[in-house]
Homo-oligomer: A and B are copies of this chain.
Amino acid sequence: MLDQVLAGGYRGRIYPVNPRGGELRGLPVYRSVADIPETVDLAVISTPRTVVPEIVEECAKRGIKAIVVITQGFADASDADGPRLQEEMVRRLAGTGARLIGPNTIGVINLYERVNTSFIGFERVPADTAMICQSGIFLLAAAEFTCGLGLGVDIGNAADVDFNQALQTLGEDGRVRVINLHMEGIRDGRRFMAVAGRVSRHKPLLCLKTGRSEAGARAAGSHSGSLAGEDHVFSAAFRQCGVLRVRDVEEMHYLNKTFLTYPAIPGRRLAVITISGGAGIAAVDACADYGLEVAAFSRETKEKLAAVFPAWMEVGNPADIWPAGMSRGYLEVLELALDAALADPQVDAVLAVSPAYLKPEDDPRLDISAAVNRAAARRPDKPLAVWSFGAHRGELAARVEEAGRVVVYPSPERAVASLAALYRYYHEIKTAPVPVPDARPVPDSAPVERILAAARRAGRTDLHTEALEVLRACGIPVLPWQHAADAAQAVRAAEQLGYPVVMKIDSPEISHKSDVGGVMVDLADAAAVTAAYDEMMRTVKKRAPRAPISGVIIQPYRPGGVEIILGAKRDPSFGPVLVYGLGGIYTELFRDVSFRIAPITREEALQMIRETRSCRLLGGFRGRPAADLDALAELVVRLGQLVIACPEIAEMDINPLLVGPHGAVAVDARITIAGALTPA
């Protein structure tokens, strides 16, 4: 490690410590931390794990404020000693005022100050990017993943310093222009969202979230619970706080390069200036895939291009400049076309498509580096990107990118996806107001508390009709209902509510009522209700013989309207999460659901509704009347307030929530009280 510190060119004082003493690389080795003649800024510990806690305490006592523990085998170990040693270390650190990074880390890298605590050699490529990671490879390979590095922290097991502290600090560092996260999981997701929400308004935050596939395995009892899956929750949280999620390290590389190169993008209209018509078609496909528009050239641009194009060729976008270049010189026509497109008020960005079949020095007629850089320099307000291809793309890219004005991408998809992310950051994240969730007082929670407390006293934690009462208590419209313990009571209830009615089995252990014959609709009169009661009892007892049955629920039959499922669950990282989706069997079939961390704003509730495909059903799809989206959004906001106000609600569903032109009404609901969580 000392070798690496020295190789990095660190210019401060270094004190090796080892009980054996002696000399190392010309430096005297101290036998203990206590022997060091001054209070150092940073201690880096790499010893067998058993002695780490003691050394940490020693460093803290010596007044060292920053400690890095490289050693592995703590919470990351599969034996019992590891976690125990980590706890001990944290205990010894507590109250000393010192902060600790690690254990199980390569520590910190600061290429501005030439500091690094890595014991592994790596290419130090300075760039104004930062990385916070849970695996050292993301710092050591930063030259590739993030196009270089300014500041980096491997939080390792995060026994003390975690994502949130690191992000806060790097967010405030004026030198860093892009911050990257490699995240396997997070402890305090809400604090992360608060910090990231602030930082993302100043600089792009890119996150590679791994461990996504294990999430799906988590079993949960409720309908929406089983749909959630941690990974969707992370995506929702990232969206809410302005973090751009990247799919893989290749995307991470190109997005860093993109954000480091282009100061902004004015809109999404792309011009494509291409050496090949076929390549232009591929670029148009990419625009459709990633949400850029193919610009319509202004008359001026068309005229400028027509002046050099052969007579048999119409000017369009993509503009295939090869035939023109053949007669008038490729580089001349290219520069003319780039200037024309960049000057066009109907164009926001330009993609130049040009090859590198030979080494640029061997093929000066196709060496576009000077031409594109001149064009880019004249219009720094619009990104000029290049898709290049051929055996020598790398060499051409190096030439083109040298001035830091233009990025060369390896495919049109890569180029367009990168420009689309640029658009998203500058138009949807940076300029968006930090969301302020609905600040009206949460619904009066006292009656809700009373209902929940009564249920708990009665030893019940899985609530059905009481869930409807809870909703009503906090102002959510609920379809009237009555409980009936026999057929006669059912008829009486139906008469009070008005025919036609719906009958549903009432059992705390039956979640999917219709699966066991526990739902009958459109019962028109007393005879129908009586017959239905008998039939339902028979069927349900046969299909769910062990479920206790306390009778049925009678509700008015309201056909029409769209069935929505709206729920909430508690995520281990982010706490209360709202789940919204199409109801009925289609929820599971198409997983057409959206998630948000509660509480949310009305605008976020509308976004949540709109990002499902089933949203079209609400907008007057195929002749249906348009639903009252405002009422629906209001209700989603309200549910968020409820689960924030009542932490004892572990999970809940409104299923179905009936949404129509005149509002939304809860038909059925379920609440699970904390302490009775279904097995995870």
Q: A interface vs B, CB < 8 Å?
A: 72-73, 76-79, 81-82, 120-123, 125, 133-138, 140-141, 143-145, 182, 184, 208, 210-214, 216, 247-250, 275-279, 281-282, 284-285, 287-289, 310-314, 323, 355, 357-358, 362-363, 389-394, 410-414, 512, 514-516, 543, 585-586, 588-590, 592, 613-614, 616-617, 621-623
The answer to whether residues A137 and B312 also contact, given A122-B391, A284-B214, A589-B617 and a CB cut-off of 8 A, is no
Minimum C-beta distance from A511 to chain B (A):
11
Q: Which residue on B lies nearest to A323, using beta carbons?
A: B72
Contacts of A287 in B (CB 8 A): 213
- Could you tell me if B79 and A311 are in contact, using CB atoms closer than 8 angstroms? yes
A279 CA to B512 CA, complexed, in Å = 41
A42 CA to B120 CA, complexed, in Å = 59
- Could you tell me if B141 and A355 are in contact, using CB atoms closer than 8 angstroms? yes
Q: Which residue on B lies nearest to A154, using beta carbons?
A: B278
The 8 A-B residue pairs with the shortest CB-CB distance, nearest first, are A135-B278, A213-B288, A123-B391, A143-B391, A515-B623, A122-B357, A78-B314, A77-B312
A106 CA to B411 CA, complexed, in Å = 22
- Could you tell me if B137 and A391 are in contact, using CB atoms closer than 8 angstroms? no
| Residue in B140, B249, B313, B414 whose CB lies within 8 Å of A357 | B140
A250 CA to B72 CA, complexed, in Å = 38
Contacts of A314 in B (CB 8 A): 78
Minimum C-beta distance from A535 to chain B (A):
16
Minimum C-beta distance from A672 to chain B (A):
21
| Residue in B278, B414, B514 whose CB lies within 8 Å of A137 | B278
Contacts of A214 in B (CB 8 A): 284
Contacts of A281 in B (CB 8 A): 184, 210-211
Q: Which residue on B lies nearest to A284, using beta carbons?
A: B213
Contacts of A392 in B (CB 8 A): 123
A71 CA to B99 CA, complexed, in Å = 72
Minimum C-beta distance from A398 to chain B (A):
12
A247 CA to B282 CA, complexed, in Å = 10
| Residue in B81, B125, B140 whose CB lies within 8 Å of A355 | B140
A249 CA to B389 CA, complexed, in Å = 9
Contacts of A279 in B (CB 8 A): 135, 137
- Could you tell me if B391 and A141 are in contact, using CB atoms closer than 8 angstroms? yes
A516 CA to B623 CA, complexed, in Å = 7
Contacts of A182 in B (CB 8 A): 278
Knowing that A144-B393, A145-B389, A512-B623 touch, tell me 18 more A-B residue pairs with CB under 8 angstroms.
Answer: A73-B310, A73-B313, A77-B313, A121-B358, A140-B355, A143-B390, A182-B278, A210-B282, A211-B281, A213-B289, A214-B284, A247-B413, A248-B282, A249-B282, A249-B410, A250-B411, A516-B623, A589-B621
Minimum C-beta distance from A101 to chain B (A):
16
Contacts of A213 in B (CB 8 A): 284-285, 287-289
Contacts of A248 in B (CB 8 A): 282, 411-414
The answer to whether residues A623 and B514 also contact, given A77-B313, A141-B357 and a CB cut-off of 8 A, is yes
A137 CA to B184 CA, complexed, in Å = 41
- Could you tell me if A390 and B123 are in contact, using CB atoms closer than 8 angstroms? yes
| Residue in B134, B285, B390 whose CB lies within 8 Å of A140 | B390
- 16 A–B contacts from the bound complex (CB under 8 Å): A73-B313, A77-B313, A78-B313, A81-B312, A121-B357, A123-B358, A134-B278, A140-B357, A141-B355, A141-B391, A210-B281, A212-B285, A213-B285, A248-B411, A512-B623, A516-B623
A392 CA to B592 CA, complexed, in Å = 43
Q: Which residue on B lies nearest to A183, using beta carbons?
A: B278
A276 CA to B139 CA, complexed, in Å = 12
Q: Which residue on B lies nearest to A358, using beta carbons?
A: B121
Contacts of A140 in B (CB 8 A): 355, 357, 390
Minimum C-beta distance from A346 to chain B (A):
20
| Residue in B72, B184, B277, B512 whose CB lies within 8 Å of A278 | B184
A638 CA to B623 CA, complexed, in Å = 33
A410 CA to B251 CA, complexed, in Å = 11
Contacts of A247 in B (CB 8 A): 413
Minimum C-beta distance from A324 to chain B (A):
11
- Could you tell me if B125 and A391 are in contact, using CB atoms closer than 8 angstroms? yes
